[in-house]
Amino acid sequence: MRWLGSSTVTEVVSRIKMPAPPKKMLDIGGSHGLYCVEFCRKYPALKATVLDWPIGLENAKITLTQEKDVAPQIDLFECDFENDDLPPEKYDFVFLGNIIHGLNEDANQVLFKKIANATASNSTIAILDQYSNVKGSPFVKGVASLIGWNLFLFAGGRAYDFDLVKKWLENHGFGSVALTHLSRSPGFSVITARKK
Ligand SMILES: C[S@@+](CC[C@H](N)C(=O)[O-])C[C@H]1O[C@@H](n2cnc3c(N)ncnc32)[C@H](O)[C@@H]1O
């Protein structure tokens, strides 16, 4: 994931538009924490939290020893996001990188409810993942289908349909749902939405 993250992070950070510079970011299942690092570089007033199991946070600790300029902006929160509550804070930016494909529909909706409770009006959620039914060139569609099959066969997960994720978001108070395909990482896309 560190290798994959380091190849997508620059484009992800540059393509996600915020209504205002975010102040508090929660990176759910953030592992290596590379997304927190780059968002903190882009927004120097941002405080970011990497949330993960202890094994994931070990990765984040390595990153923080390497990225000393932004390390003071980033903290770590040990949590099982399926079984525990999220931190008792309000965030104005929540990032989910390669998380929803590993959860079933019910678990995703439970997580979205927790995120809705942890965010204030006008907050941004960004969901980097691989989606089915993507529009785009035959190459982009082919890569997305292959990734979906791989997730299903080898990782017990699935690539969700954009319209389904949009429905989950709208059910939990998010609007302005938009899909952006990464041009440098075909098959990967980011869904963004704004809390109403
Ligand atoms: C596929 S990796 C994604 C890492 C990173 N977000 C990225 O996009 O590169 C999934 C991460 O979620 C964490 N994770 C999965 N289920 C979790 C749970 N129930 N509670 C906390 N962390 C979890 C894993 O430890 C892992 O670090």
Cβ–ligand 1 distance for 95 under 6 Å, the answer no
Cβ–ligand 1 distance for 52 under 6 Å, the answer yes
Domain 2-131+160-195, CATH: 3.40.50.150
- Domain residues of the chain, as ranges? 2-131+160-195
**Segment 66-89 mean pLDDT:** 97
pLDDT digits (tens, 9 = 90+) for 8-51: 999 999 999 999 999 999 999 999 999 999 999 999 999 999 99
Task: Quote the pTM value.
Answer: 0.94
Q: Residue 109's pLDDT is what?
A: 96
Cα-based distances in Å from 189 to 44, 55, 127, 140: 25, 26, 8, 10
Q: Are 115 and 109 in contact (CB under 8 A)?
A: no
Residue 180 has pLDDT above 70, yes or no: yes
Atom 16, ligand 1: residue with shortest CA distance: 29
Cβ–ligand 1 distance for 33 under 6 Å, the answer no
Q: Are 93 and 18 in contact (CB under 8 A)?
A: yes
Q: Residue 3's pLDDT is what?
A: 79
51 alpha carbon – ligand 1 mean position (Å): 8
Cβ–ligand 1 distance for 56 under 6 Å, the answer yes
DSSP states of 90-156: -EEEEEEES-GGGS-HHHHHHHHHHHHHTEEEEEEEEEEE-EES--S-HHHHHHHHHHHHHHHHHSS
Report the C-alpha gap between 17 and 139 in whole angstroms: 26
Cβ–ligand 1 distance for 157 under 6 Å, the answer no
- Write the burial class of residue 54 (CB in 10 Å: 0-12 exposed, 13-18 middle, 19+ buried): exposed
pLDDT digits (tens, 9 = 90+) for 105-156: 999 999 999 999 999 999 999 999 989 876 667 776 677 667 666 666 666 6
Q: Residue 152's pLDDT is what?
A: 63
Question: Across all residues in the chain, what is the average pLDDT?
Answer: 92
- Helix (H) / strand (E) element for 49: namely strand 47-52
Q: How many CB atoms lie within 10 A of CB 154?
A: 8
Q: Could you tell which of 81, 99, 182 is best to mutate to test the pocket of ligand 1, judged by most ligand atoms within 8 Å of the CB?
A: 99
Report the C-alpha gap between 136 and 142 in whole angstroms: 10
Nearest CA to 32 out of 97, 115, 127, 124 is that of 97
